[in-house]
């Protein structure tokens, strides 16, 4: 069984189509892809995929095999990354990830911690979505990330940094902008913009809050990122709920207001791989509490 067989199988399972997997993810011909899957099924000894009118469906054996295939690919990628790092031992390196927007608060002190511990360390900083960061940690491409605690990532560890409240984001000329705080009932008749599955943890918190509030709120748009959320707020006159850190990047035509009552919160954590035995990582983690205290002194926040 070869890694390419596993890569092809995962691509088909995730895209639900031989054609889409071949053209958009694997850059290979469909007949070749079909042949590779037949070879994989012959190696495993059971049928993994079924073609249907709705596309490709996994058999029970295929669903069981998928999780193991992903783990094998992740471990192979982590092994390659570890080997590359071992081949460049001359200078310590640390790759730090941030949920886009969070670096505004946390990057300066994170850099200070790393410089204190290892003055000559080479630091790389990446700003991405939380699911991307989780995947990169699993594959060994990041050492640590400020992110959400993404579900279904058993190889990752999380340490709480802060709890962020959700706030209402709306146009500056909106009728609700006159209020000091907004009761959830006021959102019932508004064009409500929610976040898409690109931010599954935030989406889950918002969905749970809407369900718990008992207010009849039906999202009419989904935003893939903060920029898109702001654009939809301005263009549609709608409202949305976002973590409070978004307040730092609001355009002048958009404002935020707190929710009345007990506002929902979402955890910001530092995440790292259980398999990462880097001494630099351990030294950084030992200073996380100091880092949190220093940032809280500069940027007070509800915890």
* Domains of the chain, start order: 3-77 (1.10.10.10), 86-161+268-298 (3.40.190.10), 162-266 (3.40.190.290)
Of residues 142, 155, 153, 147, the one with CA closest to residue 130: 147
Q: Considering the chain, what percentage of its residues have pLDDT values greater than 70? A: 97
Integer angstrom CA distances of residue 160 from 38, 148, 196, 251: 46, 9, 24, 29
Tens digit of each residue's pLDDT (9 = 90 or more) over 251-291:
899 999 999 988 899 999 999 999 998 888 998 999 999 89
Q: Do the Cβ atoms of 5 and 49 come closer than 8 Å? A: no
* pLDDT the model gives residue 267: 95
Say whether pLDDT at 303 is over 60: no
pTM exceeds 0.85: no
What is the band of 2 on the pLDDT scale with cuts at 50, 70, 90?
confident
Tell me the range of 10-19, 46-55, 202-211 where mean pLDDT is highest: 202-211
Residue 206, pLDDT score: 93
């Amino acid at each position: 069984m070869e890694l390419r067989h596993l890569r092809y199988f995962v691509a088909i399972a995730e895209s639900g189509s031989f054609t889409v997997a071949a053209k958009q993810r694997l850059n290979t011909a469909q007949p070749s892809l079909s042949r590779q899957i037949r070879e994989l099924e012959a190696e495993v000894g059971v049928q993994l995929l079924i073609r249907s009118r709705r596309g490709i469906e996994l058999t029970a054996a295929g669903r069981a095999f998928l999780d193991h295939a992903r783990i094998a690919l992740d471990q192979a990628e982590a092994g390659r990354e570890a080997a590359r790092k071992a081949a460049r031992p001359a200078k310590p390196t640390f790759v730090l990830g941030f949920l886009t927007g969070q670096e505004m608060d946390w990057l300066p002190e994170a850099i200070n911690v790393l410089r204190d511990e290892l003055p000559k360390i080479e630091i790389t900083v990446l700003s991405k979505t939380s699911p991307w960061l989780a995947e990169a940690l699993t594959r060994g491409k990041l050492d640590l990330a400020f992110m959400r605690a993404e579900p279904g990532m058993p190889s990752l560890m999380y340490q709480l940094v802060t709890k962020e409240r959700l706030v209402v984001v709306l146009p500056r000329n909106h009728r609700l902008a006159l209020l000091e705080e907004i009761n959830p009932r006021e959102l019932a008749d508004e064009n409500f913009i929610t976040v898409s599955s690109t931010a599954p943890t935030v989406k889950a918190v918002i969905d749970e809050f809407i369900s718990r509030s008992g207010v009849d709120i039906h999202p009419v748009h989904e935003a893939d990122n903060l920029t898109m959320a702001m654009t939809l707020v301005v263009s549609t006159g709608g409202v949305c709920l976002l973590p409070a850190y978004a307040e730092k990047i609001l355009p002048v035509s958009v404002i935020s207001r707190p929710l009345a009552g007990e506002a929902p919160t979402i955890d910001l954590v530092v995440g790292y791989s259980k398999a990462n035995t880097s001494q630099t990582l351990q030294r950084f983690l030992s200073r996380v509490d100091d880092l949190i205290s220093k940032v809280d002194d500069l940027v007070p926040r509800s915890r």
